[in-house]
A and B are shown apart, each in its own frame.
Chain A
Amino acid sequence: DVKVTQSSRYLVKRTGEKVFLECVQDMDHENMFWYRQDPGLGLRLIYFSYDVKMKEKGDIPEGYSVSREKKERFSLILESASTNQTSMYLCATQAETQYFGPGTRLLVL
């Protein structure tokens, strides 16, 4: 079974803090993705990575950056968290289909 884990299920941060969300997969997949999920908007792609140190912007990359130093780990970074980044963040890996982690619910106060 594919396993995708995210470092936190719930996170509370203050405006202006730097936030790291970690995602780890155990299936040696090359492609990894970060989405945010908001009610009525579905899933929106923030960034994806197709190999170590390779990344591409998704539909809403503003205010985010990513890091892929090792194949199994894909990190999402909020350089200076803002209240409009309060959301559910989902990581996924891809082989023949996408496999999702459990999500991190982030609240920015």
Chain B
Amino acid sequence: GEDVEQSLFLSVREGDSSVINCTYTDSSSTYLYWYKQEPGAGLQLLTYIFSNMDMKQDQRLTVLLNKKDKHLSLRIADTQTGDSAIYFCAERASGTYKYIFGTGTRLKVLA
């Protein structure tokens, strides 16, 4: 069945770059998403990428997609303490309602 995997924890120093990785199994995935969840809150969409793209950049965020390896990454440049949160990757196939979420990666930014 479909599965999305992420490492559970990542710790970086303020000002460094963070790279959060995600692997998925469903080759029919058309949309791939990154969500951020701050403590005590719901999920907030950060960015998304279509499966026919390799890269998308949005200010400090860079998303890289390796479709052959089914690997997605989110790079946060100049990581700040306000970036501390749980980051979820999710996939969705075209024409379906269903999102498959990863387990989430807890990013801790050290001052």
Contacts and interface: CB of A to CB of B under 8 A. Distances in A.
Interface of A: 4, 9, 31, 33, 35, 40-45, 48, 50, 58, 90, 92, 94, 97-103
Nearest to B101: A43
Interface string B17-60: 00000000000000001010000111111001000000000000
Contact of A41 (B33, B44, B97, B103): B103
Contacts of B4: 42
Contacts, number: 47
Interface of B: 4, 8, 33, 35, 40-45, 48, 88, 97-99, 101-104
Given A50-B97, A97-B48, A40 B43 contact: no
A31 B98 CA distance: 10
B97 A4 contact: no
Contacts of B103: 40-42
Nearest to A6: B42
Contact of B42 (A4, A44, A94): A4
A109 B32 CA distance: 38
Given A42-B88, A43-B88, A103 B41 contact: yes
A92 B4 CA distance: 19
B97 A100 contact: no
